[in-house]
Amino acid sequence: MSTPAPEATVTRATCPYCGTGCGVLIESRQGRIIQVKGDPQHPANFGRLCTKGSTLHLTAADHVSRQARLLTPMARATRGAEPTPLSWDTALEQAADRFARIIREHGPQAVGFYGSGQLLTEDYYVLNKLVKGLIGTNNLDTNSRLCMSSAVAGYKATLGADAPPACYDDFQHAQTLFIVGANTAWAHPILFRRIEDARKANPEMKLIVADPRRTETADMADLFLPIRPGTDVALFHGMLNVLISEGLTDPDYIARHTQGFEALATLVQDWTPQQAAATCGIPVDDLVLAARWMGSHTPSLSLYCQGLNQSSRGTDKNAALINLHLATGQIGKPGAGPFSLTGQPNAMGGREVGGMANLLSAHRDLANPAHREEVAALWGVDEVPAQPGLTAVEMFEAAARGEIKALWIACTNPAQSLPDQATVRGALARAEFVVVQEAFATTATCAHADLLLPATTWGEKDGTVTNSERRISRVRPAAGPSGEARHDWFIFTDFGRRLEARLPDRTARYRAGTRTLFPYTSPESVWNEHRESTRGRDLDITGLSYALLDSAGPQQWPMPQGAAQGTARLYTDGVFPTADGRARFAAMPYEPVAEAQDAAYPFSLNTGRLRDQWHGMSRTGTLGRLFGHVSEPVVEVNPQDLARLGLQDGALVSVRSRRGEVIVPAQANDGMAEGQAYIAMHWGAEYLGGADADGLPRQGVNALTQPRFCPTSKQPELKHAAVRIEPATLPWRLTALVWLPADQALAVREALKPLMTAFPFASCVPFGREGDETGPGSRVGVLFRAAAATAADEALLARLLALMGLA
């Protein structure tokens, strides 16, 4: 900490958005955050920030908090009613009563907890112990199931442990960089800047990008492979076929450090380059060239994200890519390796504490009795439950069937981000008791809560996160909590103690000397317990402490006791964390996407990110300026497809899958292949509304997506749903735009939101800004669009215009 101006304080923290994990310097004055800058000393970003990171301070402004944050605990007497404030004590007593009663009456399997890769490691650790240690169920899953679970399963199946082996420095050593299923230019912008630097420094470096869409990342590529949706395994098998036939594998590495190559080699014999290229829909020569670069223009490094993970064959896609690195020995040395880019800022930390339905602390496995015993001993309980918990999609399906009676949702917005929203909404409606622990009051999920618990968030929180390259950084508070918000670790701790008092059966299982499972007084006290759980494990951090993070800066695990610093690369000695020290090849057949296109649903719908928005947009959506890059929801399609449908660019269309429908303007984009469509994943019911013929509210992009998941990782196939696109005949149109003072615009947009359901199509977004958005002097646009078959009635219009201050 230093002090540039007499009254400004500078706090070192981490950006709360993507898994790049950039360091930030937060400037505050009298406890108010006034500026944010990149931390020049942070090894992820060396002072740089992207559009989202560099505008963080604006999202923490007082007028934003007043309009958008959840500031007190609130309860609803009945569903659909306006929530009313209550004290923390009453709120947590009610929560503990309800949970204890449901657990007593229906058993621990009747409750479910759904968390987030945006929780800090300390938050996550307490939550995991609460659910598995105290309550005695493994029904704890998180949005990481929608995000990184295929990467976890892919690493474990091949390398033996869930650990990204490479590091960001490897970008500058790689000769071939293979970006597959990732739009790094938008989703990990600062990493992309580092890739651009590496290419400038080394003009020989080759960049290959494989993605069904021509993205900004693809535009940078030396070789772009516009593969058909879901055909990655065929691509990788075809590349391996070329590597073998051209003698580009590393037989010595294969012999000394791996197992199972013969079976794989036999499998890929059938995947001739011709066969693979035909399956992927790309030129044979391009596939062969990609394989040659990967095998001979070395070292080669692969970066990948949701294009591989969010697939009904996500684990196979991950494993088949890792096969290429093992077969060529391109792993464990500078510039080489398979390197999954982590989506959320702390999905890695969540994996470390084992905060998912099939994992246990410190990369232990629930299925392993010895691991369960170790964790039980660490926690001071007789046992942790053996029965695997319900994963994200399964948990909501079980709740929709009435099997899960109480749901606790923290730091995620499932009514926006889970696939098959019809089922999700059914689950939220059917559950007897829904707790939502949130920082912002404006999310779709908040509307379904019986109890709303206000959480602190970026700028206020204290703890640690781990980024994509296994680097642990401190998150430090620059301001006090907004309103009555509390830290997530503390909410879980407080609730845990109250629940302990109500569950004597459970606490009777505590080992002698264990008085409470939740003795925590600070994030550091939680973290120290987590650290102890890693002793002797692959991610051992017993050499690290908060004090060391303060003095020596962020460190990469493992860092066992006695180590002077963290570990940049794994498997440098070719020894893997498997029983025999050898990595495993995975010989998996190629399987197509789960929901094939057919005559009724001829388009493949792909979904993903925009550069300047973050998921459900609870934070990025508070700034008019972040709508400058892409301002409104659209479905992107190839211009030929648009012409075939007889539509002009911008025409309203109905996009319908077997599960639901949205109405949205179509946008021609020649980066889209014919037969494919793309809607950004951010457009939930908060921004893209309307009601169906029965008057039921539309549920945004995930009304369309499908719940089918990878059998191993249970990650759903969010990237592919079969849809049909038809003109929407809604001739009556309304467009209303108003410029409002920044301290009113968000509240007006909130007031307008319910009106979206009065029309078959409606969207409502902040629209640009005049001035700097920092205070009452500047203005933010609010844009409301609607369409209907016939003119809206006068009263409705009058209400709309009055809310916008136009009447």
Ligand X SMILES: Nc1nc2c(c(=O)[nH]1)N[C@H]1C(S)=C(S)[C@@H](COP(=O)(O)OP(=O)(O)OC[C@H]3O[C@@H](n4cnc5c(=O)[nH]c(N)nc54)[C@H](O)[C@@H]3O)O[C@H]1N2
Name the residues that contact ligand SF4, by CB under 6 A: 15, 17-18, 20-22, 45, 49-50, 52-53, 188-190
Three-state DSSP class for residue 654: strand
Distance of closest approach, residue 57 Cβ to ligand SF4, in angstroms: 12
Residue 165 binds to ligand X (criterion: CB under 6 A): no
413: contact with ligand X by CB under 6 A = yes
Nearest CA to 724 among 804, 644, 805? 644
Q: Does 466 bind ligand X (CB under 6 A)?
A: no
Given 312, 618, 657, 669, the residue binding ligand X (CB under 6 A): 618
The helix (H) or strand (E) run that includes residue 316 is: helix 314-327
Smaller CB separation from ligand X, 344 or 534: 344
Q: Which is nearer to Mo ion, 417 or 556 (CB)?
A: 417
Q: Which is nearer to ligand X, 327 or 418 (CB)?
A: 418
Q: How many CB atoms lie under 10 A from the CB of residue 600? A: 10
Q: Which of Mo ion, ligand SF4, ligand X, none does residue 616 bind to, with CB < 5 to 8 Å depending on kind?
A: ligand X
Q: Which residue(s) pair with 432 in the sheet?
A: none
Residue position matching structure tokens 């490897």:
170
- For 80-114, b/e burial (b = at least 16 CB within 10 A) is eeebeebeeeebbebbbebbbebbeeeebbbbbbb
* Nearest CB to ligand X, comparing residues 341 and 381: 341
Q: Which residues contact 762 (CB under 8 A, 6 or more apart)?
A: 689, 690, 755, 756, 784, 785, 786, 787
Per-residue binding letters, 441-460, with ligand X (x by CB under 6 A):
--x-----------x-x---
Dist. CA 580–CA 589, nearest whole Å = 25
Sheet holding 555-556, edge to edge: 463-466, 471-475, 555-556
Which residue from 176, 298, 312, 412 is in contact with ligand X, where contact means CB under 6 A? 412
Which of 54, 202 has the CB closer to ligand SF4?
Answer: 54
Query: Which string of DSSP letters, residue by residue, matches 177-202?
Result: EEEES--HHHHSHHHHHHHHHHHHH-
Of the candidates 633, 721, 734, 730, the residue with the CA atom closest to the CA atom of residue 679? 633
By CB under 6 A, how many residues form the interface with ligand X?
Answer: 60
Site for Mo ion in 348-377 (CB under 5 A): none
The distance of closest approach from Cβ of residue 47 to ligand SF4 in the complex, given in angstroms and rounded to an integer, is: 11
Is 614 an interacting residue with respect to ligand X (CB under 6 A)? yes
Peptide bond between residue 388 and the one before it cis (omega within 30 degrees of 0): no
Tell me: does residue 147 bind Mo ion (CB under 5 A).
yes
Q: Read off the tokens for 338.
A: 């398979």
Rounded to whole angstroms, the Cα distance separating 215 from 224 reads 10
Give min distance, CB of 21 to ligand SF4, in A: 6
Q: Are 88 and 484 in contact (CB under 8 A)?
A: yes
Q: Does 343 bind Mo ion (CB under 5 A)?
A: yes
**Contacting residue, 73, 83, 136, 181, with ligand X by CB under 6 A:** 181
User: Taking CB within 5 to 8 Å according to partner kind, which of Mo ion, ligand SF4, ligand X, none is near residue 176?
Assistant: none
Report the partner that residue 49 touches, choosing among ligand SF4, ligand X, Mo ion, none (CB closer than 5 to 8 A by kind).
ligand SF4
Query: Considering only 21-29, 326-334, 339-347, 569-577, which stretch makes contact with Mo ion by CB under 5 A?
Result: 339-347
Q: What is the DSSP string of 772-797?
A: -SSSTTSEEEEEEEEEESSPPPHHHH
Q: If 0-12 CB within 10 Å is exposed, 13-18 middle and 19+ buried, where does residue 695 land?
A: exposed
Selected range binding Mo ion among 142-150, 282-290, 368-376, 552-560, rule: CB under 5 A: 142-150
Tokens of 557: 């695990």
Cis peptide bond upstream of 731, omega within 30? no
Minimum distance, C-beta of residue 91 to ligand X, in the bound complex (Å)? 14
* Binding characters for ligand X, 187-226, by CB under 6 A (x = yes): xx---------------------xxxx-x-----------
49 or 322: CB nearest ligand SF4 = 49
Strand-pair category, 652-656 with 583-584: unpaired
By CB under 6 A, the residues from 277 to 336 that bind ligand X are 305-307, 310
The nearer residue to ligand SF4, 15 or 664, going by C-beta atoms, is 15
Contacts with ligand X, residue ranges (CB under 6 A): 18, 116, 118, 143, 146-147, 180-184, 186-188, 210-213, 215, 227, 229-230, 232, 305-307, 310, 343-344, 410-413, 416-417, 437-440, 443, 455, 457, 461, 488, 606-609, 611, 613-616, 618, 681, 701-702, 705, 718-719
